[in-house]
Amino acid sequence: MISPKAFRQTAVLALWAAGIVLQAAQETIPINEVEEAVPPYTLPEVLTFCDGRRVESARDWTRRRAELLRLFEDHVYGRVPKGLPRAPGRVVETRRDALGGKAVRQRIQVPLTRGPRPVLMDLLVYRPASATGPVPVFLGLNFDGNHTVTVETDIPLARGWVANRPRSGVTNHVAAEASRGTDTAAWPIERILGRGYGLATAYYGDIEADFNGGWRHGLRGTVAGTGPGSRFAPEDWGAISAWSWGLSRALDQLARDPAIDAGKVAVIGHSRLGKTALWTGARDPRFALVIANESGEGGAALARRFFGETTLRINTSFPHWFNGRFKDYNHRVPDLPVDQHELVALVAPRPVYIASAEQDRWADPKGEYLSGWHAGPVYRLLGREGLPGPDLPALNRSVGDSVGYHVRTGAHALTGADWEFYLDFADRHLRRDSR
């Protein structure tokens, strides 16, 4: 019988060898970051049914929307199993003097599965203490734990898997404690509260660990089982759909609180969680506004534009994010029955905001912008306006009406500058009827 020490050594060697193989595979994948080298491409017609009929009315769009949603489920993000529980969460703490009296803070445990050991998502909610009525809220997943997004030091550390901790789940408490407040720049809570909004966030690792095989440590594994015979069908859900499901359950919880305006909740995400936010806004129409910050390939960037990260590269690096069928298009992206402008269009007529960073060429800023631009026909059909034209706007300038966009100076990050654009956009749309 192999000893625990020998098992650990074997596992480390296996991961090391897999990493070498993966790196070698990635290095052979062609990548283009020269605009003049982008080859011609043809996008699917967002207002044309699969059988060739044209969408002529809002009623037609309802049917086309359902068709597109199923195509994205079947070919990209995967189908969520039917009958998953939607149990209410348990409020474990309410503080009315948070952030020096500026906020009411709640911590809520939201069960995502049934059974004696359910998957639990810890939802952290801040709302302005000065509010006299229900407040609109920004809801998003964070990367490293709720304790990293706030200066308050009494938030419990994230449980289980965290990206910079061993995958065994063993917690390095010294490193974990040192990570407190390290992500406050991405989550300017006091600024958000000062503008009259609440903020709700949860750690995405509570829902599912973010590595290939991480499904065994979270929602999908608990639902499907993790035994030797466990496997997913090609159309079954990937990690992005699992994280998205968690966001919808967080919205369920927010809707139970009379201090929150559940009809004015904006879902927001950065990078892979920006992909998640877009997919969540597409599949759950209860979200009033959708924000995708530098979401790139598999998010806002057009798949057919050969620039930056590609379908092949993302499926090689992160095969767990999408369903199995998406890999069929690694070498034949033009055969994919959808592209990301149609994902943006699925949010219509609700407002959507797409953002890029000048140095984040990997995410293809122009491809992100064009996705919003090509969603415009749907917004116009539904009586809304989108982006002003096909050309990227000047740096650090927000453009668009129901489809908003900016590209700012700097690198891949969610910053205070981005939040200023989002807060202004939310003011125009979520507070329009209260002015």
135-171: b (≥16 Cβ within 10 Å) or e: bbbbbbbbbbbbbbbbebeebebbebbbeebebeeeb
DSSP β-bridge partners for residue 136: none
265-303: b (≥16 Cβ within 10 Å) or e: bbbbbbbbbbbbbbbbbbbeeebbbbbbbbbbbbbbbbb
Q: CA torsion, points 26, 278, 121, 145, in degrees to nearest 10?
A: 60
What's the CA gap between 207 and 201, in Å, rounded?
12
The answer to whether 72 and 282 are in contact (CB under 8 A) is yes
The answer to whether 294 and 162 are in contact (CB under 8 A) is no
Confirm whether 317 is a catalytic residue: no
Confirm whether 295 is a catalytic residue: no
State which amino acid sits at residue 152.
Answer: E
Strands 135-142 and 198-203, sheet pairing? parallel
214 φψ region: left (φ > 0), alpha (ψ -120 to 50), beta (else): alpha
Tokens 């445990």, residue? 109
Instruction: Please list, in sequence order, all residues whose beta carbon lies within 8 angstroms of the beta carbon of residue 347, skipping any fewer than 6 positions away.
Output: 278, 281, 282, 290, 375
Selection from 105, 151, 147 nearest residue 129 by Cα: 105
Question: How many CB atoms sit inside 10 A of residue 224's CB?
Answer: 16
Encode 280-309 in three state secondary structure.
HHHHCCCCCEEEEECCCECCCECCCCCCCC
Alpha-carbon separation of residue 315 from 68, 307, 310, 325, 339 (angstroms): 21, 16, 8, 11, 16
What's the CA gap between 267 and 269, in Å, rounded?
7
Alpha-carbon separation of residue 37 from 12, 47, 176 (angstroms): 41, 29, 44
Q: What is the CA radius of gyration of the chain?
A: 21
State which amino acid sits at residue 185.
Answer: A
Catalytic residue among 244, 248, 271, 295: 271
Q: Under DSSP, is residue 61 helix (H, G, I), strand (E, B) or coil? A: helix
DSSP β-bridge partners for residue 138: 199, 266
Give catalytic residues, as residue numbers: 271, 412
